[in-house]
Structure 1
Amino acid sequence: MQTKWDQLQDIVDFRFTDLNLLKQAFTHASYRNEHRKAHVEDNERLEFLGDAVLELIISDFLYHTYPRLPEGELTRMRAAIVCEPSLVVFARRLSFEQFIRLGRGEERSGGRSRPALLADVFEAFLGALYIDQGIEAVRKFVHTHVIPHLADARVGVDYKTALQELVQQRLCTSLRYTIVEERGPAHAREFVVQVELGDEVRGVGIGRSKKEAEQQAAAKALAALAELNSGEQMTGVSQAD
């Protein structure tokens, strides 16, 4: 029979080597206080670590995605992405609130839907994933579950412009957006758009408008290119060593 931790791992698409780390990431201090004899650990230390790892990955992504932006503007964009309201959006997209372990008092007071608590759990999960599988696993998670969905969090990031500048400055190839599908009734239309760099499809986006779908496709293309760039850097370091 599938446990709730199996369900959570299906949602995030990662299998933890140490399942206790995953459980700890979703354990609030109120739950620990009610289970002292079981020596349960809460997620506060993992939250501290996850916050730092997320900032590093987002900083790296923004640095390579926006080569012309000054430090101040990059800092503003990063702050908008890693702030509490944005983290709550990402946590709720993954139904993280269903898996939090709370004390009875915190549960009764509505802690499961409290924004600060949800944001903390999201960061704690990243900290747990980092310990269990390393920074590249966290990067993959962020590029899949955070970066393509910044529009949902209302973060002002123009991915189409960023991708166009990257292609013009570094890649020297063609850039084309293609609508591959329109679906749903007229009042709830949904567009599926793919972005092609040269002959390769680099990202597919889905949105309620063509513009939204194109932005998401561009975001996924940028995330894929950043991941590829990171892998090449890692290879270069290994060869140099």
Structure 2
Amino acid sequence: MDPVEKIPKIDPVEAVEKILKYSFSNKSLLKDALLFSREKPETARVQFLGEAALAQAFTNHLFLAYPNLEPKELTDLRSSNVNGEKFARAAVNHGLFQFIIGDVDTHTATRVKNFTEAVRKEDDPGPYALGRSRIVKATPAILGDIVESVAGAVYIDVNYDVRRLWEICRGIFEPIYTFDDMRRQPQIIATLYRIAEKYGKRVQIRQSQGADGLFKVAVYLDDEFIAGGVPKPTAKQAKLAAARDALSKLSESMVIEMVMDDDNLDIDIDDARKKLIEICKKRKWPCPTYKVWNRNNQGYACSVSIETTGEEETLSIMGERRKRKNISQDAAASLMIRALKYVYKDDL
């Protein structure tokens, strides 16, 4: 059967109630939530409510489940669970698209079909399956919209009780990404830089902050715009969103092999020097020192050295040549972090 084929013989409301294992007191709420039409703005309002309610439900769950995590770690973990791709996968796993009431344009239906087929063909359907092999087709927004809209209808039906919403909807989001899953996530930005190096291109990540305080990031390869993520509360979140969108765009014309880091050593080249300083402070070493050479006006090469307190004494490593001085320092720091990972393993 076609992965997104409509099944008109089944009542959509009854089918979704079975998926949720919940019977609506006001079934018209669910019916309206499944009606995607430009003439039905109320659906967008319910979707808006559902998005906010799910964010609150996940926040409560993670706050109680991880009493020792820092706010930043909780924020990152929530972002891993509350996003369009995660919701779209939930819609695919439970076949929600087929229960939309009304006609969907051919272009949208085709994108949903391609995404659905790509997800179902994945070898590893577990957390971060997207990053474990290749970037699949771009996520159709309508899939995430369905989940948010249905959640909004549930939230209203349970009289705006977040705890009850979580009890009803939690099952469709399984597996819920855990802190251990997050530690094993694919290195999105490292993958982007590796692809650029492979094809001899230069990555540019341009960042701006709007009057609303949100960060917007755009990714360029050799000054050619590739993708721009949606605005995010923090610069790091915006950078990851833009890099993920860029990889999705590039996957349309090339095979993307993700860089994985099971030890969760963040080797984002833009943050490498900062990360290396943190490692040195943790081990009570002096801060790293850098030496930079201009190679016949063809770029900069940099070495980084660390004075250790053990038998190793001084550790040094030379980074690859870069067009800009500061990037050559970041590249050297990134290589030093990789080297330290193999020397000290879990003691970083």
- The TM-score normalised by the length of structure 2 is 0.38
Distance 1:156 1:133, change over 3 A: closer
| Equivalent position SS for 2:22 | coil
Residue of 4, 25, 31 corresponding to 2:33? 25
Aligned to 1:132: 157
CA contact (8 A) 1:59 1:78 kept: yes
How many Å separate the matches in 2 of 1:53 and 1:80?
16
Which segments of 5 or more consecutive residues in structure 1 lack a partner in the other structure? 33-39, 160-241
How many Å separate the matches in 1 of 2:56 and 2:180?
20
CA contact (8 A) 2:108 2:140 kept: no
CA contact (8 A) 2:91 2:147 kept: yes
The structure, 1 or 2, with the larger RCO (C-alpha pairs under 8 Å, 6+ apart) is 1
Aligned alpha-carbon RMSD (Å): 2.4
How many Å separate the matches in 2 of 1:11 and 1:108?
26
For each residue in 1:63-104, what CA deviation from the matched residue of structure 2 results, as whole angstroms up to 9, or x when unmatched?
A: 11111111111111111111111001111222110111243x
Aligned to 2:175: 149
Aligned to 2:106: 108
Per-residue deviation, 1:49: 0.5
| Equivalent position SS for 1:29 | coil
How many Å separate the matches in 1 of 2:85 and 2:10?
32
Sequence identity of aligned pairs in percent? 25
Aligned to 2:96: 96
How many Å separate the matches in 2 of 1:157 and 1:102?
39
CA contact (8 A) 1:24 1:41 kept: no
How many Å separate the matches in 2 of 1:2 and 1:149?
27
Aligned to 2:146: 121
| Amino acid across the alignment from 2:167 | K
Alignment of 1:1-241 (within 5 A): 3-30=11-38, 32=39, 40=40, 42-103=42-103, 106-111=104-109, 113=112, 115-134=140-159, 135=161, 136-146=163-173, 148-150=174-176, 155=177, 157-158=179-180
| Equivalent position SS for 2:105 | helix
Which segments of 5 or more consecutive residues in structure 2 lack a partner in the other structure? 1-8, 113-138, 182-348
Per-residue deviation, 1:110: 2.8
How many Å separate the matches in 1 of 2:144 and 2:71?
26
How many Å separate the matches in 1 of 2:169 and 2:18?
16
CA contact (8 A) 1:47 1:127 kept: yes
As a proportion of its length, which structure holds more helix?
1
Per-residue deviation, 1:27: 1.6
CA contact (8 A) 1:46 1:128 kept: yes
CA contact (8 A) 1:22 1:128 kept: yes
Per-residue deviation, 1:2: 6.0
Per-residue deviation, 1:41: 5.2
| Equivalent position SS for 1:55 | helix
Runs of 4+ in 1 over 4 A off after TM superposition: none
Distance 1:118 1:108, change over 3 A: same
**How many residues get paired?**
145
| Amino acid across the alignment from 2:21 | D
- The TM-score normalised by the length of structure 1 is 0.54
Structure 1 or 2, whichever has the larger Rg, is 2
For each residue in 1:77-136, what CA deviation from the matched residue of structure 2 results, as whole angstroms up to 9, or x when unmatched?
A: 111111111001111222110111243xx4322347262111011011111001112323
How many Å separate the matches in 2 of 1:74 and 1:20?
36
How many Å separate the matches in 2 of 1:137 and 1:115?
28
